[in-house]
Structure 1
Amino acid sequence: MSASAWNSRPPLSRAAVARVVQLAGAFDVATAVLLPERHGRIAALAEFVPIAGILSARAATAAAGVLLIYLGAGLRRGKRRAWQLAVAVACAGIVLNILRGLDFDAAVVSAALLGLLIAVRKRFATLPGPHSRWRALTALAAFAGAGFALGLFEIAIRADHLIGTPGVEAWAQQAALGLIGVSGPVRFVRPWAADTVSLTTGTFGLLAALAAVVLFLKPGERRPVRTEGDERRLRELLARYGGDDSLGYFALRADKALIWAPSGKATVAYRVVRGVSLAAGDPIGIASEWPEAISAWLTDCERHGWTPAVLGCGRTGGTAYSRAGLDVIELGDEAVVDVAAFSLDGRPMRSVRQAVNRMRRAGYTCTAVRQRDLPPDELSAVTQAADRFRDGNVERGFSMALSRLGDQADGDCLLVLARDQDGQLRGVLQFVPWGADGLSLDLMRGDRTAPNGLTELMVVTAVEAGPSLGVRRVSLNFAVLRSVFARAEQLGAGPVLRMWHRLLRVVSRVWQIESLYRANAKYLPAWQPRYLCFPTARDLPRIAVAALTAEAFLPAGRTVGGPLPAPETALISR
């Protein structure tokens, strides 16, 4: 895509072609299922084609129509392989409509569709995934092989109920032809036995075709590859412009790829998940170069058929993405504490003050130290303790988490270490740099047997240590849909808002949305809005699944999500 703005709708001709293909598919299904059989034509055709072949062609026509309807979504995104399959199905439709009853009218429709697809072939050039072809062939062979083996086995166990003495070669033909819904040479004494074999082989044949098509059209997922030069340039940009966005440092995650503006002065960090290219936060670099970096990212999405989405960008980033053609909605608010104005005095801070005092009376102490200032053996002990404190086996986070602790390259990170009266480490909190004068909460690991108040003690220690560290602002966390909870508590809240609030409270029983908001609100932060950017509303379900997968709340491949964080540690689930 050469333009700097994302076209949230595909080109009209491409969208129109997709609709025509889907209408042609619906026409095939209707003519195969709903129209009455023309016995005169079938009788004439039966002189050349077996009745079983005619019936199979009728069923195959309906299946081809369903496949065309499915392919419409891929064509709308410009997928080359969707176009290739549509061409193949249109060719097959010409033959099938003739074989199922000399339906020349329907065959002409398929031929016209084929001509249309060939005429607009240049509009479908999205690059396929690097391994989708082999995965499709593997799935096709696996399901077909399993169906063939089961069909052969079912024939073998009924060998004494066969008419005549067909050999193993005839058995193999029966099982193989059954995969495509065609009757073979084997005849059974009991008709139900033949139906059983046909059902088994036909089901596996259909599964093989469906699995192969889905995998064939599945967008590829790029493995993030960074050179030393990319890493160096990114850290240089963060050193100069990292203060613009509290999420900037999280671009250093190993699972995020980088795409650069031609000048190299701005970049977008992203990860491809389930066909969605997820960027997080604002672009990094000089703001005047953001449009070029965003354009390069959107062009990459267009070439590969990925859906672009941005999680948690700020107001400035949201404006830049909006100008590039994406829709923007408010996703929630980030809690930012002003270090100079922070105090434990006053009634609003009573609960935090009591929690901190209770922990200190119990003998707990807390220290804040830059990672680079910890001796190697002590840093090793901290990372080991953090692993023990982790709730579950899955490291959650993507947009607002670094997902590593103790790396030598992260020497500027701030560690807050909580110890009990015996000097045992009971809690670890890590902040990443937010420019030269800010900190952004990354993770917290706490011993679940520690008294309540461990979280408050560590957070307050980090904020109170700010002046000595040259820190003016501390970003604690992100509260999804915070405004709904805040406005629902105000006098005069309307019925729609109250209903939305009740729904979110139900959802919070699983996702802890409300508890995370209240865990942030107790520190009286300033709330800064964060936004979600996306192409169109119909893409939101796909983006939601991709985002939950990236944040490790849904399984990705062989990775299975663990239990959700407990309320005591929910504050740190960035």
Structure 2
Amino acid sequence: MTSSLTERAANDDQQVEAGWRPFLRRNRRYLQALATLLVIGLFGLAIFHLTSEVQYDDVVQALADTSWTSVVAAILFTALSFFALTFYDVGALEYVRRKLPYADVALTAACAYAVGNTAGFGALSGGAIRYRAYSRLGIEPENIARIIAFVTLAFGLGLLTVTCLSLLAVGEYVAPLTGLDPFWLRMIAVAILGTVLAVFVKGRDGHEVTIGRFALRMPDSRTSSRQFLVTALDLAASATVLYVLLPAGTIGWPAFLAIYSLAVGIGVLSHVPAGLGVFETIIIATLGHSADVDTILGALVLYRVIYHVLPLLIAIAVVVGIELRQLSGHPVASSVRRIGGRITPLLLATLGIVLAIMLVLSSVTPTPDENLAFLEGLLPLPIVEGAHFLASLLGLALVIVSRGLAQRLDGAWWASVAIAVAALLLSLIKAIALVEAGMLAFFLVGLIASRRLFVRPASLFGQALTLPWLTALGVICLGGFVVLMFVYRDVDYSHELWWQFEFSAEAPRGLRALLGVTIGASAIAIWSLMRPAASGAEPASDDAMERALAIVEAQDMSDANLVRMGDKSLMFSADGRAFIMYGQRARSWIALFDPVGPVDAWPELIWQFIETARASGCRAVFYQVSPLGLAYYADAGLRAFRLGELAHVDLARFEMKGGKWANLRQQVSRAQRDGLEFKMVAPADVPAIMGELTAISDAWLAHHNAKEKGFSLGAFDPDYLAEQPVAVLTYEGRIVAFANILVTATKQEGTVDLMRFAPDAPKGSMDFLFAQVMEHLKAEGYRTFNLGMAPLSGMSSRQIAPVWDRAGRTFFEHGERFYNFKGLRAFKSKFHPHWQPRYLVASGGINPILALMDATFLIGGGFKGVMKK
């Protein structure tokens, strides 16, 4: 009986687990967002309790009492910290064996950290800055990924090491926060340091270190030592920024360094943007017994302004200065100008978020008494009340348009200008807030100076906010609530507060403003999450096909003829000069190749495709794209992952003479002696041989136990085959092999798509067929021959290769069971081609893996098709 009950309980547990896991996987992003808001709420509650004896006026007075010498010292140490931060990128570039001018690297790194420290979420992050900047400077996507990984790992290990070293010296200061005895705290630090040291010793000189399921390739000892010194300098300088703002004698500098490092580390682990609230809680909890909490709060506010906001303002001033010098005709380094043009929208979007927070927080904090008295004698109460309430709503609106600024929308630019002007006027009317007005004026100047960058005509209101942006709205609302409760903690709540309208009634004014922001943010979130998805992908109409074929004929890319299959949807640019062909599988909209058409039409079409896919609740994916368009995809916030290499043969140099062509020349001669004959059949004559071609195709499929593919490969379809030339091999008067040839009117490139041969075709028929096709196209005046892609070819096996490359390389070497990767590469290598990388482009996280799976199933015709090869 007991055994039966136990077994039943175990089965019930398994059913519950089976039911929860899919739920967690489906809603992982939403749960992470809720967890972020929960963490902020908990730490906000902790701060509220830790500051129970603190008055808002005391904090304001502490800010006013801070000496200018301390502020200047904090600014100098901020400059030193950011100088040190640039050497993360310098070291990363050396690690991947690339070299760029220091000015380019310093600008990129400084802007990346200015954005990452301030925003630290989603589309606004240091990684996005680096992708946009370094892609413009010619760094390959896989190397950019290595740079980002190197920078992240170097900072993480350096932070961990510095924190543990500090704990050894000052463990008694940190022990009360953790609840551990200082002895045990030091023992934990020793254990961590021992582990880190063992990892570095074992992984010295680039050896791989395996920890459980994870494998980590370490840099050489020289690089590791140098990056540790960079981290130590960065942390020491940034800690000193806050240290000089604290009252003298609060705590010794070594002890403070340990506390600061711990606070930064926990803030990073919390995944809260900029560690907001988490960092402050730890600093207050550890230093609250050594100094007045109001002075610590004042120092923390100044620290956030000096170390987080000031570098962002300086970065914007630099890139705006580049824009202004360009407009004035002054010479500026072209590479720096290119970087500035790519990252300015992200910088302005980040500043927009900062200003939005400022407008919301200023609406829940009281106006200085002297300013309020001046306004009372100048303006009627309804105008002041209205200005106060509208300014908070403008803060909410600025969050929304900031996303459009990051995407370079012209509508977002106009809306931002209007909001900045209105908010500037309202900030003067509601509180004579000169600092607030000055920040808004700076934002306005930055917008006007960079007007040429915001030229995308996409609809601002046609885009729903993504989850990171909705999380940002939640963070702002929670932050406003915490500040409101702190400022007016001595005001007893009553329902009458909502209806008090007096110049001195500051708490009711703040309540109404926060309520308006919360209701507005909730409405936006509900609309973004619940609005119906746009219509999905639709088959191409006859008219669309005619337009697409006209574009294909005028372009050089022969593979674009795959549009003739009619199995893909089409999306045209606004001017009709270019199109994207794509298919849909699950939640992926997968575009095949780069856009087809003039390159200057690509950027807007890429954005259009991404936005339409997102509006349909799907991810945008680009499959088999060339290096030519990588900068455009990076600008759109997507990342590139190598798929393999495409083989091109220069037909002008294709001549089967010399030693390197000996094997191929012998096979061609043998095929001719065996009686194989080559013939190119014009499209008009293809229907006459369709019966023979059908028989060969059916026999080939049966012999290989395969089914027709699609999307990136042509399938056997009589109408499709009859639209382009077909190359055939005859043996003893009958056709034994064929391949359809894809060409365009420009005669820049030709390629082979569908290749089939009879089971009894003589050995070496395919080599002979390809050689004859290239000879024929060369005689016809074609310049290159596209041999197609070798999947997973060219994946890096170097020690610094990212996980994606190492996994692809492993599959290439040992995946014969699933696909003949090495054999395909070897076949194409017979023709001594030039190899060019091809990429899968998608957003980060797990999306590339899901996108590749969807693309595989789309090509193979579903799971069964993939399993049948």
Whether the TM-score (by the shorter chain) exceeds 0.5 is: yes
Say if 2:708 is the partner of 1:395.
yes
Counterpart secondary structure, 2:841? strand
Structure 2 residue corresponding to 1:425, chosen from 735, 738, 748:
735
Give the structure with the larger helix fraction. 2
Q: Which amino acid aligns with 1:433?
A: V
Distance 2:807 2:545 in 1: 47
Cα contact 2:583–2:711 (8 A) shared by 1? no
Say if 2:32 is the partner of 1:19.
yes
What residue number does 1:443 align with? Answer: 754
Runs of 5+ consecutive residues of structure 2 not aligned to the other structure: 1-26, 40-463, 469-517
Distance 1:283 1:333 in 2: 19
Counterpart secondary structure, 1:465? helix
Structure 1 residue corresponding to 2:673, chosen from 361, 385, 389:
361
**C-alpha spacing 1:435/1:479, structure 2 compared with 1 (3 Å):** farther
Q: CA deviation at 1:128?
A: 4.4
**C-alpha spacing 1:16/1:445, structure 2 compared with 1 (3 Å):** closer
Distance 1:320 1:115 in 2: 34
What residue number does 1:121 align with? Answer: 526
Q: CA deviation at 1:425?
A: 1.4
**C-alpha spacing 1:501/1:443, structure 2 compared with 1 (3 Å):** same
Runs of 5+ consecutive residues of structure 1 not aligned to the other structure: 1-13, 27-74, 80-112, 131-220, 565-574
Within a 5 Å distance, the mapping from 1:493-508 to structure 2 comes to 501=809, 503-508=811-816
Distance 1:498 1:238 in 2: 36
Distance 1:286 1:248 in 2: 13
Say if 2:763 is the partner of 1:452.
yes
Cα contact 1:371–1:406 (8 A) shared by 2? no
Q: CA deviation at 1:288?
A: 1.9
Within a 5 Å distance, the mapping from 1:461-476 to structure 2 comes to 461-476=772-787
Distance 2:624 2:544 in 1: 23
Cα contact 2:559–2:751 (8 A) shared by 1? yes
Counterpart secondary structure, 1:551? helix
Cα contact 2:711–2:859 (8 A) shared by 1? yes
Cα contact 1:313–1:532 (8 A) shared by 2? yes
What residue number does 1:552 align with? Answer: 860
Distance 2:721 2:852 in 1: 32
Distance 2:799 2:523 in 1: 55
What residue number does 1:318 align with? Answer: 630
Q: CA deviation at 1:508?
A: 3.1
Distance 1:449 1:562 in 2: 26
Q: CA deviation at 1:535?
A: 0.8
Counterpart secondary structure, 1:285? coil
**C-alpha spacing 1:271/1:119, structure 2 compared with 1 (3 Å):** closer
Say if 2:868 is the partner of 1:563.
yes
Say if 2:612 is the partner of 1:300.
yes
Counterpart secondary structure, 1:247? helix
Within a 5 Å distance, the mapping from 1:485-524 to structure 2 comes to 501=809, 503-524=811-832
Distance 2:781 2:673 in 1: 29
Distance 1:511 1:395 in 2: 16
What residue number does 1:38 align with? Answer: none
Q: CA deviation at 1:503?
A: 4.8
Cα RMSD (Å): 3.5
Cα contact 1:15–1:76 (8 A) shared by 2? no
**Alignment TM-score, normalising by the size of structure 2:** 0.39
**C-alpha spacing 1:389/1:346, structure 2 compared with 1 (3 Å):** same
**C-alpha spacing 1:253/1:322, structure 2 compared with 1 (3 Å):** farther
Distance 2:465 2:542 in 1: 38
Distance 2:778 2:525 in 1: 64
Counterpart secondary structure, 1:483? coil
**C-alpha spacing 1:554/1:513, structure 2 compared with 1 (3 Å):** farther
Distance 2:608 2:800 in 1: 44
Say if 2:673 is the partner of 1:333.
no
**C-alpha spacing 1:529/1:360, structure 2 compared with 1 (3 Å):** same
Cα contact 2:856–2:866 (8 A) shared by 1? no
**C-alpha spacing 1:254/1:347, structure 2 compared with 1 (3 Å):** same
Distance 1:354 1:126 in 2: 65
- Larger CA Rg, structure 1 vs 2: 2
Cα contact 1:396–1:552 (8 A) shared by 2? yes
Distance 1:125 1:444 in 2: 48
Within a 5 Å distance, the mapping from 1:342-357 to structure 2 comes to 342-357=654-669
Within a 5 Å distance, the mapping from 1:18-57 to structure 2 comes to 18-21=31-34
Q: CA deviation at 1:258?
A: 0.9
What residue number does 2:542 align with? Answer: 228
Counterpart secondary structure, 1:419? strand
Cα contact 2:572–2:580 (8 A) shared by 1? yes
Structure 1 residue corresponding to 2:726, chosen from 406, 411, 415:
415
Say if 2:593 is the partner of 1:281.
yes
**C-alpha spacing 1:316/1:502, structure 2 compared with 1 (3 Å):** closer
**Alignment TM-score, normalising by the size of structure 1:** 0.57
**C-alpha spacing 1:499/1:403, structure 2 compared with 1 (3 Å):** closer
Distance 2:830 2:852 in 1: 29
Q: Which amino acid aligns with 1:508?
A: E
**C-alpha spacing 1:499/1:533, structure 2 compared with 1 (3 Å):** closer
| Larger relative contact order (Cα-Cα within 8 Å, sequence gap ≥ 6) | 1
Cα contact 1:383–1:405 (8 A) shared by 2? no
**C-alpha spacing 1:348/1:125, structure 2 compared with 1 (3 Å):** farther
Q: Which amino acid aligns with 2:694?
A: T
Cα contact 2:696–2:757 (8 A) shared by 1? no
**C-alpha spacing 1:76/1:17, structure 2 compared with 1 (3 Å):** farther
Counterpart secondary structure, 2:653? coil
Cα contact 2:621–2:851 (8 A) shared by 1? yes
